[in-house]
Amino acid sequence: MSWQGVPTEVLTRLERYRLQPRQMHAAAIRGERLSPRKGLSIEFADYRHYAPGDDLRHLDWNILARLDRAYLRTYQDEQELPVYLLLDCSASMAFGEPSKYDLARSLAACLGYIGLIAGDAVYPVALDGRVNEARAMRGRISYRRLIEWLRAREPDGRDLSHSLQRFAHANLPTGMAFLLTDGLDEHLCDALRTLASRRHELVVIQILSEAELDPDLEGDLKLIDAETGDALEITATGGVLTEYHKRLHAHCEAIRNTCRRISALYLQTRNSQPLEEILQRGLRPMGVLRD
């Protein structure tokens, strides 16, 4: 079954939330998020053209009446928060029921919606091994575009760490970067360190399936890597499963410890965990969301 997006009633309950960065980021243009810098007042700075979805409270009605053109007033103390939705499109994300990828898309839709209604600039980025230009979406009206973008991407890529490295070196303003991934890349920690060096405020959400966390396997099996196609024949004994759990735990701990060292936030969740539970009991207590 194809991804159905986020139910309208869930979006309605998200209206109360805003993204809460731990620091201010220099944005490309002015926005609606007030800067905490002292010694400045909210003073008029300039005009810019109106774009669909902009807050009509800043529309200059006198210019509209005289010139029949829509301009918005911008202010010295207002900044726009860049929000990057880094979607792991590796083939391994298709695993699970529901798939890890569908949960990642739903989380991206929710985080994007929260950013759009708050006047932040939302940049969806597909980490699929291809060269993708990040383009900003702004305003509530852009939510439909975001959903269409998410529907158009499929988990058929590979080389997550290389895609992250490419994003880290892109000429983009620093902001909050949400990485939605299963983290099943042996070079991920190196990529995270590179990303942190670019001063992005990183939130890593690792999504694993129930079958990956607690595989119910026995007997002679042939395992096929979803991204490389490499095959491995094993006999699933108790000792083999114990070693598997040990290595998976060590890999996840390495990601967690790397996040701690680079001051990134880390949350691990399961593909079966309810969407709102992840937001309310996972991200909100971490300080990522505020009422």
- Cis amide linkage into residue 7, ω under 30° from 0: no
Domain that holds residue 65: 33-79
The one-digit pLDDT tens for each residue of the chain (291 residues) are 578 899 999 999 999 999 999 876 555 444 455 444 433 345 555 677 776 666 677 788 888 888 888 887 765 445 679 999 999 999 999 999 999 999 999 999 999 999 999 999 999 999 998 877 788 999 999 999 999 999 999 998 778 999 999 999 998 999 999 999 999 999 999 999 999 998 899 999 999 999 899 887 665 555 555 566 666 666 667 677 888 889 999 999 999 999 999 999 999 999 999 999 999 999 999 999 998
Query: Is 73 in the same domain as 173?
Result: no
What are 200's two structure tokens? 């992005």
Query: Is 54 in the same domain as 184?
Result: no
Query: Is 64 in the same domain as 140?
Result: no
Within-domain flag for 166:
yes
Q: Do strands 78-79 and 71-75 pair parallel, antiparallel, or not at all (unpaired)?
A: unpaired
- The residues facing 71 across adjacent strands are 49
Number of structural domains (the chain) is 2
| pTM of this structure | 0.80
- The residues facing 268 across adjacent strands are 206
Query: Is 117 in the same domain as 241?
Result: yes
Query: Is 199 in the same domain as 158?
Result: yes
Please name the helix (run of DSSP H) or strand (run of DSSP E) that holds residue 147, with its range, or none. Answer: helix 143-152
Neighbour-count burial of 289, counting CB atoms closer than 10 A to its CB (0-12 exposed, 13-18 middle, 19+ buried): buried
Query: Is 221 in the same domain as 249?
Result: yes
Domain CATH code at residue 183 = 3.40.50.410
Query: Is 103 in the same domain as 235?
Result: yes
**Rounded Cα distance, 186 and 171, in Å:** 26
